[in-house]
Every structure is written in structure tokens, then in C-alpha cells.
Amino acid sequence: MVHNDYSYELAPKFEFFSDRFEITSYGGLPQGLSKEEFFLGVSIPRSKEIMRIYRDMELVEQLGSGVPRILKTYGEECFYFSENFVRMSFPAEKVVEKVVEKVVEKVVEKISENQMKIVELMNQDSSISALQISKEIGISQRKTQENIAKLKELEIIERIGPAKGGYWKLLKK
């Protein structure tokens, strides 16, 4: 968005294919910026107002950090340069892999140590009871129930069947 040349009157293009995801920014590299400088992370945003808004909204971490992060995962071969546009092509399996990593990171950030222990116990024994969990972890039954409710709310676990005779299903590992 911030690197697109809007004088072409075209918005950046985002395309999903079965084997890849592509982003096309119009305008090619800014005048005076070489490919080598681009790959080093030299940043010349064309849309300074959009960049300011993104910075205010904390959507950009630091200027010039995007390309080096892309290179670390995908390499230079994901970039195609033309006089009129720059295209980045990301293999689908790597995009999915990165999305899964981010989702797992966010889920792990949101659950407590006791909740992690509960998930581990349920993974070891899907028919474990809340009473057994509370004894194993060393917390009250009430706290165990609260933690289980939070894990259900986060869609990490699901109870299949009744309290007696049912089992725990892990939705996210």
C-alpha cells in the first residue's frame, strides 16, 4: 500500500492462486533506488500520508524492515521487477505455514500456564475428569472449571458427550 505509485490510478493487486499468493505494486522501484538497495531494506515509501497513518495505527514496525523479513523466508526469487510494477509471489505452502505459526503464537500468548497443563493432560487422556485435572495440577475445582471454560471459549477444546462417559477433543494443538 505505501510503496504503490497511485499516479497510475491503480491500487495494489492481491491475487490468490492454488499454488501461490501474489502482490503487485504499481510503479516499479522508485527512481534512483537500485535492486541491491531494495534488497538491503532501503525504504522509499511513495505514499507518505498512508505511511504516516500506518505508523500512527502501529501497523508498521519500523521503516525498511519488510523486505529483509520477506527475504529471510522466501529469498530474492519471490520478487519480479518491471519498469511498471514490482510483484512478490509467495508459494502457498509457505504462506499457510506462516499463518499457522502466527495463529499458534497468538493462541499460546492467550492461555495461561494452568490452561497449557490442562490441554496437555487432555491430550494424554481424553476422558480425564475436571476433578482429576484439579488434583493433577493442584488447583481448585472451581479454577479448573474456569480454565476449561476459557479453553472452550478460545475454541481450543470441545467436550464431546456427557460429563460421564464423554471425552475431550483438542481443536488446536
Tally of domains in the chain? 2
Residues 75 and 135 both lie in one domain: no
Residues 12 and 90 both lie in one domain: yes
CA distance 49 to 13: 20
Q: Please, where are the H alpha helices in 57-155? A: 66-74, 92-110, 113-124, 130-137, 141-153
Residues 61 and 129 both lie in one domain: no
* Residue 18: per-residue pLDDT: 79
Residues 21 and 91 both lie in one domain: yes
What is the arithmetic mean of pLDDT over 82-98?
Answer: 81
Averaged pLDDT score across all residues of the chain? 83
Residue 33 lies in a domain: yes
Domain, as residue range, for 69: 6-96
Taking only the tens place, the pLDDT of each residue in 123-169 is: 889 899 999 999 999 999 999 999 999 989 888 889 999 888 889 98
Residues 122 and 46 both lie in one domain: no
The pTM of the full predicted model, rounded to 2 decimals, is 0.51
Residues 43 and 120 both lie in one domain: no
* Residue 140: per-residue pLDDT: 93
Residue 1 lies in a domain: no
Taking only the tens place, the pLDDT of each residue in 31-48 is: 888 999 988 888 887 777
